Amino acid sequence: MALRAVHVSRRKIAILCLLGVFLLFLSYFLYVPPDIQFDQANEGPLSGEEPIHIFIPTPATQLIGMMALINSIRQNTEAQLKFHLLTDTQESADHITTWMSNSVLHDVDKDIIVFNASWIEGKFKVPKWEHRQKAFSQALPFARYFIPKFLSPDYEGRAVYLDDDIIVQGDIRELAWTKMKEYQFAALSPDCNAVTRAFSLKTSSYGSYVNLNSPHLRRVKIPWHACKLNSGVIVVDVGKWKRWKITDKLLYWTELNKEEVIYYYGADQAPIMIVCFNRFKAINPLWHVRDLGWSNGDKYSSSLVYNQARLLHWNGERKPWKFPARRASDIWRKYYVPDSS
């Protein structure tokens, strides 16, 4: 009798344990921090003469993506635009000039900037566990840390940062004037709101990217399962960025990671995740439909990709100019700008 009671008791414990694990996983997938709220309201001018400052960094190997992105933005807005095009060499800068001068982009208002790598050289290391070391060993991805430096010293408005593997299908003014609260200095996309969250526990949480056991990070009080941020699309309040010394804060974590393990992946992205924690506005998901370079886009409906999405992002290895047969690549081709230089 006693043995039977023990057996039943163990069975109950096993069932309770399985139920606990199930509830843990369920809460992980359903977890959305209270700050992640989307609204359609904008707080800035959707018309007028103030230009929208757009930053696009591109190495010499991906200029084709930059050109299509610029073309997509200009075709879908009537706003005044100012592009700040960052690249890694003078040769690449000259190529951008020639490419645009001999194309439909000849009249685009732009600055072409060779990023000063000395601003970041010696201040970062490629994380030991970073798989794509070649991509992250370049200084150019860190250019977004210095956005205010490329603008007039008295400029206090908005700036938009975009990766070069993006196509914009909506009016960029909607993104640029995303409504932010007083304590928020940037707008980004939390990856727990992307479809990829259902495919990978690891890549959607802070705990998989940063070392939350570090005494320095314990003070930031980041929950392990908080949604990591995708920094391929960023809206910046430049005035707050300067007043709150965001560039210095980003460089602090970058340099500290040389002395101890602060983050495991993302040499340039992880400091942005740390500094932005609890101080960012979540971008409306339609303004960052991403992961098209990892999947074939079949996890999104055709209606979403072709009719509703305002911004498409081919983050991942399979860029639309390299894999033209992939789903949604026809959207990218619509904005393709031939190089006649």
What are the pLDDT digits (tens) for 41-83? 566 655 556 899 999 999 999 999 999 999 999 999 999 999 9
Task: Transcribe 279-310 into DSSP letters.
Answer: SEEEPPGGG-B--TTTS-STTS-HHIIIII-S
Measured between alpha carbons, how far is 276 from 218 in angstroms, rounded to an integer? 15
Six-digit token string for 219: 């003070």
Q: Please classify residue 3 by burial: count the beta carbons closer than 10 Å to its beta carbon, then call 0-12 exposed, 13-18 middle and 19+ buried.
A: exposed
Residue environment code for 100-109, b if the CB has 16+ CB neighbours within 10 A, otherwise e:
beebebeebe
Q: Which of 21-25, 176-180, 223-227 has the lowest mean pLDDT?
A: 21-25
Residue 76 confidence (pLDDT) = 98
Neighbours of 268 (CB within 10 A): 20
Per the DSSP assignment, residues forming a β-bridge with 113 are: 86
Residue 109 confidence (pLDDT) = 98
SS3 236: strand
pLDDT, one tens digit per residue, over 173-193 is 999 999 999 999 999 999 875
Measured between alpha carbons, how far is 294 from 39 in angstroms, rounded to an integer? 28
pLDDT, one tens digit per residue, over 102-133 is 999 999 999 999 999 999 988 877 655 454 44
Tell whether the model's pLDDT for residue 29 goes beyond 80.
no
pLDDT range class, residue 166, cuts 50, 70, 90: very high
Residue 121 confidence (pLDDT) = 83
Q: What is the amino acid identity at position 91?
A: E
Torsion of CA 42, 46, 50, 55, to 10 degrees: 70
Is the separation of the CB atoms in 257 and 317 below 8 Å? Answer: no
Torsion of CA 273, 279, 283, 285, to 10 degrees: 60
Is the separation of the CB atoms in 169 and 331 below 8 Å? Answer: yes
Q: What is the pTM of this model?
A: 0.84
Q: How large is the average pLDDT for residues 18-23?
A: 54
